Amino acid sequence: MRERIDRAARAAGRDPDGVRLVAVSKTFPPAAVQAGADAGLADFGENRVQEALGKIERAARPRVRWHLIGHLQSNKARAAAAAFDWIHSVDSTKLLRRLDEAAADAATAPNLLVQVDLAGEATKHGAPVAEVRPLLEAALACRAARVRGLMLMPPWNEDPEATRPYFRRLRELRDGLLDEGIAPAALGDLSMGMSHDFEVAIAEGATMVRVGTAIFGRRTPPR
């Protein structure tokens, strides 16, 4: 997997070290995380706070970093801010402030990504484009948490090329915000791309790719 990421980065004229692999371990048992860590994986992604907590308790830090990549409800902000190193799904100023308050109380410093809605899908979350800049400006007042970039969950399509325009739009949004004076430290990362399309995402500027199936295999639906 790392070899594919490195090849995609080099093909795009980028430094492979600039792309972080987040192994999406949701629904897989702690033993799968341990096996991944033993194989050299350092970043693991989970969708649900409660499911992740049991795995996090078994992981040795700083060897393993935990990413919350699924939607986060405000009432789970306190638990998430205390447990995760990265939270990819900040989609409102209200959630941002709750996470920062919780992080200050827990003496943690989670890295946050603003999830952007570029497709308007009813089943997906994310901040509308018009709300991204106000959210980043609100982050200037954070005491503990820090916004580090943007995240995208585009509409599913088996053809990676059909998803490319969404990846490109997120990069262009980031570049436009930088041109408008938003601090580079708040826009350093673009979390986009999954098992079937991460190479296209890297070509369009992804600094984090979220890969599950290509690492752990297909998930078995609950009976």
Write the pLDDT tens digit of every residue in 143-168. Answer: 999 999 999 999 999 999 999 999 99
Tell me the pLDDT tens digit for each residue of 84-109.
Answer: 999 999 999 999 999 999 999 999 99
Asked if 58 and 46 touch (Cβ cutoff 8 Å), the reply is no
C-alpha dihedral over 159, 160, 166, 170, to 10 degrees?
170
Q: What's the farthest any 2 CA atoms get from each other in the chain? A: 51
Q: What global pTM score does this model have?
A: 0.95
Domain made up of 2-12+25-215: CATH architecture: Alpha-Beta Barrel (3.20)
Residue ranges of domains in the chain: 2-12+25-215
Which amino acid is it at 59? A
- The rounded distance, in Å, linking the Cα atoms of 97 and 192 is 24
DSSP 3-state assignment of 70?
coil
Cβ neighbourhood burial of 75 (10 Å; 0-12, 13-18, 19+): exposed
